[in-house]
Amino acid sequence: MRVQLFKTWDRVRSSFWFLPAVMAGGAMVLAFTTVALDTPVTEWLTLNWGWSFTGGAEGASSLLGAIAGSMITIAGVVFSMTLVALSLASSQLGPRLLRSFMRDTTTQMVLGTFVATFLYCLLVLRTIRRAEETRFVPHLSVALGVLLAVVSVGVLIYFIHHVSVSIQANEIVARTGRELIEGIERLFPETIGRGAPRIPTEPPDADFLDRFDREARPIESTGDGYLQFVDGDALMALAMQEDVVIRLVRRPGHYVVATRPLALVWPGNRVTDQLIERVNSAFALGNQRTSGQDIEFAINQLVEIAIRALSPGVNDPFTAVTCVDHLGSALCRLAQRDMPSPYRHDTQDQLRVITPDFTFPDVTNAAFNQIRQYGRSSAAVTIRLLETIAEIAGSVQRSEDRVALLRHARMIKRGAGGGLPEDEDRHEVEERFQSANQLLSESPDSTI
């Protein structure tokens, strides 16, 4: 159940309707409240402060009508500007970035401001009575409507500036890089509590793993889609309750096919229909990947921007270099963090859950492979890749991570040998490679 809440909340955050709907609801409450308080507050201000309110019903109606009409018109303009920004980002930088634009709180707040002001003025307008015997003009509510209109004008000016900045390539890359770093901070915290499942533990003995492979029963998926969230706590509680060991076959970001194994449960004779249902309920599937538990998704977004920039139709190595810089910044942080242990134990030190391996070399493959392949003919991108690897080398703590980085450095060098026709460019690439090799070869396990 909790994993479905995570999925729903992630979907709500990526929608244009949630925040405007909340602000519209607040505007309705504000309209009814101010109208109810209008008469006593007006009398109190007149008696105690000498303030008097002027203006008749016709003037108030015209004013509120003008504000409401202008607000709904501007809301349409804002919506059109948003669609233009989404279309531009999708065509030039990749359709997977649309989710990032739709999660932009500023755009949602601006849409909500104009819709809320329109709805507030509309609700106050209906309370104005022109008949002489029942005349009622909500002076306080009208004044607040004017104030909301003034605020809305300021919000419109800010939104124009925000859209102008947000569609710039460097700004988009920087925002995507921040999302990647936030994902690393969330999934790989710098301080790991004692007894947490991420603490590296020794793998089970080979005999147990053999028995597991022979006797475990697969739990088949009930649907198709990308695995978005996994409720690890629910799986741990279920494994303790049923006294079983659960091994996950898929991790967030993988595509799951219905009737194919989603997890394995040992011993298999304890698997029941209820257990199958509860295991499936701990996995949330969707039509697209998300960055909630999938660190490679944010990496792929930066990689997609880079390889689109390197395409012959665009030919923008500067944007590709910017993407490499932000990938290097994220990998420097990740290299200093402990990788999650695939073996999760309960409080009694009993193995309960086995997750798929997730290593730093896997992340470097996702970050460098495609940029290296598409950028082999660009001296600027090739040189920056090697400089970035040298920068990451200063943060690497594990020998296997050094080996992975050195492997990529060698492939980049070989690709440049066949992709760069100019001798001076190849010589500069060789110098960058030797610098990275010197830093990475400090470990005895890293050899050319």
Biggest CA–CA distance in the chain, Å, is: 96
Query: Quick check: 425 pLDDT over 80?
Result: yes
Alpha helices in 50-191 (DSSP H): 57-93, 98-102, 105-125, 139-166, 169-187
Distance CA 340, CA 366 (A): 18
What's the confidence (pLDDT) of residue 379? 92
Cα–Cα distance measured from residue 87 to residue 106, given in angstroms and rounded to the nearest whole number: 18
Q: 187, 173, 149: which is closest to 73 by C-alpha?
A: 149
Gap between the Cα atoms of 208 and 354, Å rounded: 13
pTM value? 0.82
Percent of the chain with pLDDT over 90: 39
pLDDT at 53: 54
pLDDT band at 190 (very low <50, low <70, confident <90, very high): low
Q: How many helices (H) and strands (E) does the chain have?
A: 16, 8
pLDDT for res 1: 59
Give me the mean pLDDT over the 81-95 stretch: 77
Closest among 8, 3, 46, 82 to 278, alpha carbons compared = 3
Q: Are 355 and 344 in contact (CB under 8 A)?
A: yes
Please indicate whether residue 444 or residue 279 has the higher confidence score (pLDDT): 279
Low-confidence winner among 49-53, 96-100, 374-378 (lowest mean pLDDT) = 49-53
Q: Distance between CA 150 and CA 130 in Å, rounded? A: 26
CA 410 → CA 20, 125, 191, 269, 365, distances in Å? 52, 72, 34, 50, 13
Contact 31, 141 (CB under 8 A): yes
Q: Summarize the confidence of residues 390-417 as an average pLDDT.
A: 92
Question: Could you report the per-residue pLDDT of 5-48, keeping only the tens digit for each?
Answer: 767 777 777 777 888 999 999 999 999 998 888 778 766 666 66
Q: How many CB atoms within 10 Å of residue 447?
A: 10
- Mean pLDDT over all residues of the chain? 85
| Helix extents (H) in 282-345 | 295-309, 317-335
Alpha-carbon torsion angle 238, 242, 247, 251, nearest 10 = -20
Residue whose token pair is 């003037």: 59
- 368 pLDDT higher than 50: yes
For the chain, domain boundaries: 2-167
3-state secondary structure of 230: strand
Torsional sign, CA 167, 172, 174, 175 = positive
Q: Provide the pLDDT for residue 446.
A: 41
8 Å CB contact between 104 and 158: no
> In this model, does residue 191 exceed pLDDT 80?
no
- Identify whether the C-beta of residue 354 lies closer than 8 Å to the C-beta of residue 342: yes
pLDDT of residue 31: 92
- What's the confidence (pLDDT) of residue 344? 87
**What pLDDT digit, counting tens, does each position of 129-157 carry?**
876 656 677 888 888 999 999 999 999 99
Q: Token pair of 154, please?
A: 């300021």
Note the pLDDT of residue 106: 87
Per-residue pLDDT tens over the stretch 96-115: 777 777 778 888 899 899 99
Where residue 91 falls among pLDDT bands split at 50, 70, 90? confident
Contact indicator for 140, 265 with CB cutoff of 8 Å: no
Percent of the chain with pLDDT over 70: 90
Residue 131 has a pLDDT of 65
pLDDT confidence bin for 55, thresholds 50/70/90: low
Written as six digits, the tokens of 144 are: 């607040």
